[in-house]
């Protein structure tokens, strides 16, 4: 087992330096797991670290998913097969720029719940989940012949709260399920005291200033082993922002500082991957910052797994301290398939009955209350007044398109500085429609309880409006009939193309505005060409098939193109 004493880690009583990289199995298609892990091993690392997202594994209360991208046991078995060690971070909260920090949105149906605390309502849900999840790890522990040498207690808790009884709950859960393994907490140096337990190893998360960070650890817990559990070598991007990069030489020199003091290290990220579907998170500070689809992170491997200059710089430094393996020759290639004509289109409003479920209620319900946590919801009601009516949009989360009597009239966004609008209702009886997009729940900080949709009744013309229809637009069900009568956006565009040999590629959406792309029914994620920085979506080859393939673009706003391009290079801005 992994242990620590006298400021050092030991594995089977032999001094051990953890050299690890973060790969999130749920951000990489399973057919590519081995490629990414082999590149990690070829760098000279001995360990792989991953989070475990609750919302992927229990998308609805009591309904569990451990297949496909969620097949964590298959991933662990592959780690073992490749003779690597593993660190698992199964906290119910993971942050990770992932939707709601990994929490399932159905938790927000509990009106009195207190997340990340000893609140019994919250802990009962965690325990129910852990009763299914944690037993899966027991056979994969190192002492049972598996690769898992350590597990984390919660995640950066010092940056959130100070309920140490809550942290103790995780030790009890691990013991209950026979997970007798090395345990640790991780926090930034500023917050580590609030997020640590006396009898559990404290590790740090940072990207620079090595001596300063470990001096603080030594003051707090003298003679602690040195480990940076998240060595931030890049950063994530948000819509309407710039693509972040970090100089390879700078990252390598900080890594050299870590090697000089024989610190253990986990590169965050070794390989970032992709926020497929609607699973990107968001940060909410002065304003709301939704994360883009790509989680490239300027990591050691690109989003599509290409070795970077930063990887090479890190390997050069590492080679000065240990014997490093030969480079791994990947068989995965990218390919430019060229233009794909989108020959059919249909308005979302023409296909609403086929792709949505209708719910009627006195007042608008949030997406969480509707058991429809992701994507889009259309809210509809009758307005029996005529003329200009004042309207405050603060009830709408996050972005919406407003229609009156079937005509588009306005777009609203969570970040709008001016929330007050005036809407004109031309008739004595009018139909008001509000199509709302959840652009990602906050994954960090004080806004974790980030409800989506229309979160309170609409105050319009100095009064409330009752009796609403709500259409839950299920992005897992795509239109089959493309018979267009209504010319309004959003619109679905469909095209088909032939593939002889399967390779990775990228979807270039020049001429489109904002929406989602589906390949053979799989939701690749969001695009937002008019905001950036990301301009292409990564399409992993295993999602294609030899022969005919179908691509569907859900365009929310406007398009002046009837084709997309499948190109061989990404454009992240």
Which stretch of DSSP H or E encloses residue 215? helix 210-220
Rounded distance between C-alpha atoms, residue 274 and residue 176, angstroms = 34
3-state secondary structure of 321: coil
- CB-based burial, 48-79: b 16+ in 10 Å, e otherwise: bbbbbbbbbbbbeeeeeeeeebbbbeebbebb
Cis amide bond preceding 299, omega within 30: no
Give which of 224, 170, 169 is closest to 192, Cα–Cα.
224
* Inter-residue contact 129 to 54 (CB < 8 Å): yes
Q: 309-318 and 33-43 helices cross at what angle (nearest 10)?
A: 40
Instruction: Write a three-state SS string for 526-539.
Output: EEECCCCCCCEEEE
Please report which residue ranges of 266-382 form alpha helices under DSSP H.
Answer: 309-318, 352-355
3-state secondary structure of 290: strand
* Inter-residue contact 505 to 336 (CB < 8 Å): yes
Rounded distance between C-alpha atoms, residue 490 and residue 474, angstroms = 14
Other CB atoms within 10 A of residue 44 CB: 17
Rounded distance between C-alpha atoms, residue 180 and residue 142, angstroms = 10
Q: Which residues are catalytic?
A: 156, 230
The residues, ordered by sequence, that sit 6+ positions from 372 with a Cβ below 8 Å of its Cβ are 357, 472, 474
The residue assigned the tokens 């020199």 is 253
The residues, ordered by sequence, that sit 6+ positions from 528 with a Cβ below 8 Å of its Cβ are 239, 292, 513, 514, 534
Rounded distance between C-alpha atoms, residue 529 and residue 537, angstroms = 11
3-state secondary structure of 55: helix
Let me know if 463 is exposed, middle or buried by CB neighbors in 10 A (0-12, 13-18, 19+). exposed
CA 127 to chain centre: 23
């Amino acid at each position: 087992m992994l242990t620590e004493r006298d400021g050092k880690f030991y594995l089977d009583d032999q001094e051990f330096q953890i050299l690890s990289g973060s790969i999130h199995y749920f951000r990489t298609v399973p057919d590519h797991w081995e490629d990414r892990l082999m590149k990690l091993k070829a760098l000279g690392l001995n360990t792989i670290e991953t989070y475990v997202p609750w919302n992927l594994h229990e998308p609805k209360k009591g309904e569990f998913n451990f297949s496909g991208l969620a097949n964590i046991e298959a991933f662990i078995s592959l780690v073992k097969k490749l003779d690597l060690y593993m660190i698992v971070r199964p906290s119910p909260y993971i942050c990770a720029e992932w939707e709601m920090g990994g929490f399932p949105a159905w938790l927000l149906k509990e009106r009195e719940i207190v997340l990340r605390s000893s609140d019994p309502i919250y802990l009962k849900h965690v325990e129910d989940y852990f009763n299914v999840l944690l037993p899966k790890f027991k056979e994969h522990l190192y002492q049972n012949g598996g690769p898992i040498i350590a597990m984390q207690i919660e995640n950066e808790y010092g940056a959130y709260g100070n309920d140490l009884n809550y942290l103790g709950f995780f030790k009890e859960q691990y013991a209950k399920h026979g997970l007798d393994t090395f345990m640790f907490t991780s926090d930034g140096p500023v917050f580590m005291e609030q997020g640590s337990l006396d009898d559990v190893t404290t590790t740090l998360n940072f990207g620079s200033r090595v001596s300063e960070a470990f001096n603080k650890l030594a003051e707090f817990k003298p003679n602690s082993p040195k480990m940076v559990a998240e060595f931030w070598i890049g950063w994530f991007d948000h819509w309407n922002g710039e693509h972040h990069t970090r100089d390879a030489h700078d990252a390598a020199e900080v890594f050299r500082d870590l090697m000089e003091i024989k610190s253990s290290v986990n590169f965050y990220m070794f390989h970032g991957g992709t926020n497929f579907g609607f699973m990107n998170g968001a940060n909410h500070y002065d304003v709301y910052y939704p994360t883009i689809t790509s989680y490239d992170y300027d990591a050691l491997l690109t989003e599509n797994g290409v070795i970077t200059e930063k990887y090479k710089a890190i390997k050069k430094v590492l080679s000065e301290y240990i014997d490093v393996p030969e480079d791994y020759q990947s068989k995965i290639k990218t390919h430019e398939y060229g233009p794909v004509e989108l020959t059919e289109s249909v308005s979302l409003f023409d296909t609403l009955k086929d792709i949505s479920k209708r719910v009627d209620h006195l007042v608008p319900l949030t997406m969480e209350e509707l058991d429809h946590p992701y994507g889009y919801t259309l809210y509809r009601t009758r307005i029996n007044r005529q003329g200009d009516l004042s309207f405050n949009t603060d009830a709408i989360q996050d972005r919406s398109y407003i229609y009156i009597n079937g005509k588009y009239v306005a777009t609203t966004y969570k970040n709008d500085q001016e929330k007050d609008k005036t809407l004109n209702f031309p008739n004595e009886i009018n139909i008001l429609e509000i199509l709302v997009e959840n652009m990602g729940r906050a994954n960090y900080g004080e806004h974790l309880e980030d409800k989506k949709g229309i979160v309170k009744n609409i105050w319009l013309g100095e009064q409330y409006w009752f009796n609403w229809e709500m259409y839950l637009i299920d992005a897992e069900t795509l239109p089959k009939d493309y018979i267009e009568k209504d010319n309004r956006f959003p619109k679905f565009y469909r095209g088909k193309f032939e593939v002889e040999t399967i390779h990775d590629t990228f979807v270039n959406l020049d001429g489109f505005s904002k929406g989602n792309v589906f390949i053979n029914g799989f939701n690749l994620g969001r695009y937002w060409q008019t905001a950036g920085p990301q301009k292409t979506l990564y399409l992993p080859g295993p999602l294609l098939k030899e022969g005919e393939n179908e691509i569907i673009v859900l365009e929310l706003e406007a398009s002046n193109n009837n084709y997309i391009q499948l190109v061989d290079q990404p454009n992240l801005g």
